[in-house]
Amino acid sequence: MNEVLGWILDTVRQVDPVLRVLLAALGMFLETSILIGLIVPGDTIVIVASTAITTWAEYAALFVAVVAGALAGESLGFALGRFFGPRIRVSRLGRSLGEVNWLRAKNYVDRRGGIAVFVSRFLPVLHALIPLTVGMSAMRYRKFLAWTAPACALWAGAYVSVGWLAAGSYRQLSSQLHYAGYLFAAIISVFLLLALLAKKLIVRSEARHMDVPKGDMPGDEDGTREP
């Protein structure tokens, strides 16, 4: 376990630091961009990149890059929603998400405003739809940015920190403990489990603000929706 993990971490560290930071920023840009975030594993990219951190300067550079990439992606989503939102919604890609998800995103923004923008950064599916939905709403970009920036910073701080902590702990203990690799895996696993639990709790607590009235469900207007 230690040999395999050591090889993986060394391989990541051998990547040029600037390139590593730029790839993380690009990953976050794609993860938060229009619907691409549904297939790009931004959290994995950031954790992998953060395992190569050895100094506070590298930590700060990666943190800033991740936040900048996330904000750029969400800003693009907002702009596309502002100018092409309705077209995107009825496109093949938009329809593949399901009309219910679009309605949930719209209801959430209408009912919670900036709070929906902040919270959605931590929720599956909605984090890709909310920027587009906000772009189609009356919310100004300045307000959108004021709510999404701290959410992106909180997200980046958590993921960059856990990757650095796990890798740093492994490097310090690998020569002393033969199970140091399992400690690394445990730290990452516990963090991801807690993140998943937090998402479920958030969804449960916010569900009432996203609910779609029965009469607004797709198919209700013509009686075609199945019971």
User: Would the CA dihedral through 190, 24, 66, 107 be positive or negative?
Assistant: negative
SS3 165: helix
Q: What's residue 113's pLDDT?
A: 92
Q: What's residue 223's pLDDT?
A: 43
Using CA atoms, how far apart are residues 79 and 76, in angstroms rounded to an integer? 5
Which one, of 5, 60, 13, lies nearest residue 188 by Cα? Answer: 5
Q: What's residue 194's pLDDT?
A: 93
Ranges of the chain whose pLDDT falls below 50: 221-227
* DSSP assignment of 124-164: TTHHHHHHHHHHTSS--HHHHHHHHHHHHHHHHHHHHHHHH
Using CA atoms, how far apart are residues 70 and 149, in angstroms rounded to an integer? 9
Q: What's residue 183's pLDDT?
A: 84
Using CA atoms, how far apart are residues 119 and 115, in angstroms rounded to an integer? 6
Cβ-contact 177, 183 below 8 angstroms: yes
Which one, of 141, 123, 31, 38, lies nearest residue 81 by Cα? Answer: 141
DSSP 123: S
Q: What is the value of pTM for the model shown?
A: 0.85
Using CA atoms, how far apart are residues 130 and 73, in angstroms rounded to an integer? 12
Residues 6+ apart with CB under 8 A from 101: 125, 126, 129
Q: What's residue 217's pLDDT?
A: 61
Give the DSSP H or E segment for 188.
Answer: helix 180-210
Cβ-contact 31, 125 below 8 angstroms: no
